[in-house]
Structure 1
Amino acid sequence: MRQYYKWFTGAMASAVILAACSKDDKDESTPPARNYNKLITVSNFNGDTTTSKTVIYYSLEQEKAGSPRNLKSADWDVAFGGNANSSISGNYGADVDENTTAGKGGPGKGGVLIIGKPFDQVTRVPDGAVFITTSGGVGLDTAGMFGTTTGWCVYDFAGVLRATKGIGGNNATTQKHTVWARPDRTIIVRTASGNYAKLKITSMYKEAPAEPVTGTERPYFHFQYVLAAPGSKDFTIK
């Protein structure tokens, strides 16, 4: 009887340890449940601060930072890089172009495109959408300095864009070299797993001041997004 008791006690202790390990493993690897077709808000996102970086990464599906140590994986969906971290690109692993994403060689199916509509007016992925899969992604708009195409933000080199473009700074003394999000733009993201999200970036400055100045800390991204359910291109919030 004594031997049976010892065996039973040991077996129960092992079961508790295994259950705890299983729970920890599940918590670490399982993405948030049912985060599709919901408005998700992120504030002051500064990436993985445990490593030195110039590009920062985020997983829309897992709602967390992606680590620069794990680029060739589906651990991230969007990268914030380029000039002042203004270039938003997707996680695409099969790209053979010279201008490849950080995910080259990995399993990522991602990409980005930009639409000239406010976030609330974008209800689904447009028919015939062509996604950008290279590291340039979408970034600075031609309304500001260094912009080469339609972008999600403007770079106000002189701090006077508000007077001429209606967006940007209005004080050449304090607002030179500031970056301003365009409220009339929406980014569509194809995630690393091949699902879709619509994304609106509102600021890249710490605490998102209405009037950032030249020395305001960045990049601290503020954004909202809605993930379409797997197999769907519909962003209707439910």
Structure 2
Amino acid sequence: MIHSYKWAAGACAAAVMLAACSKDDKDETPVPTGNYNKLISVANFNGDTTTSKATIYFSLEMEKAGSPKNLQSGDWDVAFGGNANSAVSGNYGVNEDGNTSAGKGGPGKGGVLIIDKPFDQVTRVPDGAVFITTSTGVGLDTAGFFGTTTGWCVYDFAGTLRATKGIGGNSATTQKHTVWARPDRTIIVRTASGNYAKLKITSMYKDAPAEPETATARPFFHFQYVLAAPGSKDFTIR
């Protein structure tokens, strides 16, 4: 890089001796590369289980697990915790309301919000978006048991929710206490560094069976996401 810079400077100086460098030349901002504006899929994410903490962490920008030992850092973007690991929260470091932020005083700028719209229909961060920055994040929907707000999943306490809600279990014998993702919901994540991603969780069960049962191993998250380029709120896949 240093040699390239000197070469360019010398070439321009030589050009000035013959003719002034064009004033019309403009520096172009390089197009971001990496994992931006690409569909990224993750299967059977079980997190870092080296501690006794139930919450697991993932970095969308680095495409890898974060460690519960490293909460006060920018090394993770989303946390899966709370009841049945259904609460998805962002890495926000400022202590609020009695230290309820998941980032626990670290540098994270993150947050989450949920949109009542399928993943493929969400093309950008909505105008006026207000992000949730506490560790409660977004989780269980009111259509299921224990839900308190619009959520990305339903909790089927009895294993019979499908008959009344169209989503959930259909067997009181084998599907009690199961968690079902809602395909009509999308989570918007503000990452620890302040960028944006849209996130769709499809299952929290090992190998993502179409009919999870009470005894199916969890949490093994399956999800897809698209990161907008730094400074952008656009999720268009390129």
1:105 aligns with 2:105: yes
SS in 2 for 1:69: helix
Q: Which residue of 2 aligns with 1:27?
A: none
Residue matched to 2:236: 236
**CA–CA separation in structure 2 for the residues paired with 1:95 and 1:226:** 28
Residue 98 of structure 1 deviates from its aligned partner by 2.4
2:156 partner letter: D
* Number of matched pairs: 206
* Structure 2 equivalent of residue 50 of structure 1: 50
For 1:1-238, list aligned pairs within 5 A. Answer: 34-98=34-98, 100-238=100-238
- Is the 2:80–2:86 Cα contact (8 Å) retained in structure 1? yes
Q: Is the 8 A contact 1:43 1:223 kept in 2?
A: yes
Instruction: Give the structure with the higher percent helix.
Output: 1
Do the aligned residues in 2 keep the contact of 1:99 with 1:135 (CA within 8 Å)?
no
Deviations 1:207-234 (A, max 9, x none): 0000000000000000000000000000
Partners of 1:185 and 1:157 in 2: CA distance: 21
- 1:52 Cα shift? 2.8
Q: Deviations over 1:167-219 (max 9, x none)?
A: 00001111000000000000000000000000000000000000000000000
Q: Quick one: which amino acid aligns to residue 227 of structure 2?
A: L
Shift of residue 71, structure 1, vs aligned partner: 0.5
1:84 counterpart SS class: helix
Supply the AA of the counterpart residue of 2:228. A
- Which consecutive unaligned segments of at least 5 residues does structure 2 have? 1-32
Question: Aligned partners of 2:36 and 2:95: how far apart in 1?
Answer: 27
User: Shift in Å at residue 99 of structure 1?
Assistant: 5.6
What is the identity percentage for the equivalent residue pairs of Structure 1 and Structure 2?
A: 86
Which residue type is aligned with residue 120 of structure 1? D
Q: What is the CA distance between 1:34 and its match in structure 2?
A: 1.1
**Alignment gaps of 5+ in structure 1:** 1-32
For 2:57, what is the secondary structure of its paired residue? strand
Rounded to whole Å, the distance in 1 between the matches of 2:227 and 2:65 is: 16
For residue 100 of structure 1, report the CA deviation from its aligned partner. 1.5
Structure 1 segments, 4+ long, off by >3 Å, are none
Alignment-mate amino acid for residue 129 of structure 1: A
SS of the equivalent of 1:175 reads coil
2:10 maps to which residue? none
Distance verdict in 2 for CA 1:171–1:99, change over 3 Å: farther
Amino acid at match of 2:52: S
Question: 1 CA distance for matches of 2:188 and 2:182?
Answer: 15
Distance 1:111 1:122 in 2: 17
Which TM-score applies when normalising by structure 1?
Answer: 0.85
SS class of match (1:89): strand
Q: Report how far residue 96 of structure 1 moved.
A: 2.1
Q: Is 1:72–1:102's contact at 8 Å kept on the other side of the alignment? A: no
CA displacement 1:45-67 (0-9 Å, x = unmatched): 00013333200000000000001
